[in-house]
């Protein structure tokens, strides 16, 4: 018997031989690439291929929104879309731009993306917050218990605060001053590459940062994500901090999955 699939655009329910799956779409805007995929919201898995297009230079809001339009056209997706940006987003307005074009500061992202993507539900949120939401639902079982700080190590350091799986958004721990230097200038993934640090040297910097976060927040668990968490075996065992540290499980899928979840759950910060 062949499997029958019925697509109901209004409810976005895909029904295949009795199994009901809610499908969403997430887009993760990063410094080098803009990535998007359909997401099975019951498993956190991608449906089909992830689409990736290089981030335009300069990455102004309109240039980035054009690329997002292209990704959705390629994916033939006209439903709700969740979008992450590496910035503080409050009331659907971007308020900061540490590692992106300064033109994002003060941009009404609701207006921007509706102008480019038309009349559909759109939620924009911080990239690390999206990763936190995804990890709390589909990642490490302890991510949804008690007070958890998830950190993403990439161009900058992103942070998500979770309390029993609920997000406190826009925490921006990457900008906390640790020993006279912003944490992300000391210990981001980019710092390791730019300064050509060994795993041991870089882990020592990450430890300094984690010790400061521990001293201020005493979380029950740190979860470390971002691209460099793929190589967690090389550096997580070298960390010197009392709080338990575990690698993120969704790795670079987390931003897209969290974005898709945010719009489906109407979690606009």
What residues make contact with ligand BGC under the rule CB under 6 A?
86-88, 96, 98-99, 126-128, 152, 154, 156, 158, 172, 174, 184
DSSP string, 39-105: EETTTTEEEEEEEEEEPPSS--HHHHHHHHHHHHHHHT--S-EEEEESS-EETTEE---SSS-GGGT
> Could you tell me the smallest distance in angstroms from the CB atom of residue 182 to ligand BGC?
9
User: Residue 12, SS3?
Assistant: coil
Residue (61 or 154) nearer to ligand BGC, CB: 154
Residue (23 or 139) nearer to ligand BGC, CB: 139
> Could you tell me the smallest distance in angstroms from the CB atom of residue 225 to ligand BGC?
10
DSSP string, 257-268: HHHHHHHHTT--
State the residue number with the nearest CB to ligand BGC: 156
> Could you tell me the smallest distance in angstroms from the CB atom of residue 158 to ligand BGC?
3
Bridge partners, 137 (sequence order): none
Residue (61 or 156) nearer to ligand BGC, CB: 156
> Could you tell me the smallest distance in angstroms from the CB atom of residue 99 to ligand BGC?
5
CA 234 to chain CA centroid, nearest Å: 23
Residue (64 or 88) nearer to ligand BGC, CB: 88
> Could you tell me the smallest distance in angstroms from the CB atom of residue 13 to ligand BGC?
32
Residue (104 or 138) nearer to ligand BGC, CB: 104
Residue appearing with tokens 């691209």 = 227
- Asked if residue 120 lies in contact with residue 81, where contact means CB atoms within 8 angstroms, the answer is yes
Quick one: angle between helices 109-117 and 61-75, nearest 10?
40
User: Residue 153, SS3?
Assistant: strand
């Amino acid at each position: 018997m062949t499997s029958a699939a019925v697509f109901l655009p209004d409810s976005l329910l895909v029904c295949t031989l009795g199994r009901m799956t809610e499908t969403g779409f997430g887009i993760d805007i990063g410094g080098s690439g803009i990535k998007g995929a359909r997401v099975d919201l019951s498993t956190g898995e991608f449906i089909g291929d992830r689409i990736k297009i290089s981030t335009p230079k300069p990455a102004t809001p309109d240039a980035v929104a054009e690329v997002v339009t292209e990704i959705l056209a390629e994916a033939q997706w006209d439903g709700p879309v969740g979008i992450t940006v590496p910035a503080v987003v409050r009331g659907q307005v971007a308020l900061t731009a540490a590692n992106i074009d300064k033109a994002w500061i003060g941009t009404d992202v609701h207006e921007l993306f509706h102008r480019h993507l038309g009349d559909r539900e759109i939620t924009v949120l911080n990239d690390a917050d999206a990763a936190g939401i995804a990890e709390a639902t589909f990642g490490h079982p302890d991510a949804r218990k008690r007070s958890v700080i998830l950190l993403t190590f990439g161009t900058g350091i992103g942070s998500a605060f979770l309390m029993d799986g609920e997000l406190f958004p826009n925490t921006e721990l990457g900008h906390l001053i640790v020993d006279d230097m912003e944490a992300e200038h000391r210990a981001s993934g980019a710092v390791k590459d730019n300064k050509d640090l060994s795993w041991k040297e870089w882990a020592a910097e990450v430890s300094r940062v984690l010790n400061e976060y521990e001293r201020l927040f005493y979380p029950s668990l740190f979860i470390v994500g971002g691209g460099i968490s793929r190589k967690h075996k090389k550096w997580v065992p070298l960390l010197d901090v009392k709080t338990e540290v575990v690698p993120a499980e969704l790795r670079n899928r987390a931003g897209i999955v969290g974005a898709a979840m945010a719009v489906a759950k109407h979690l606009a910060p």
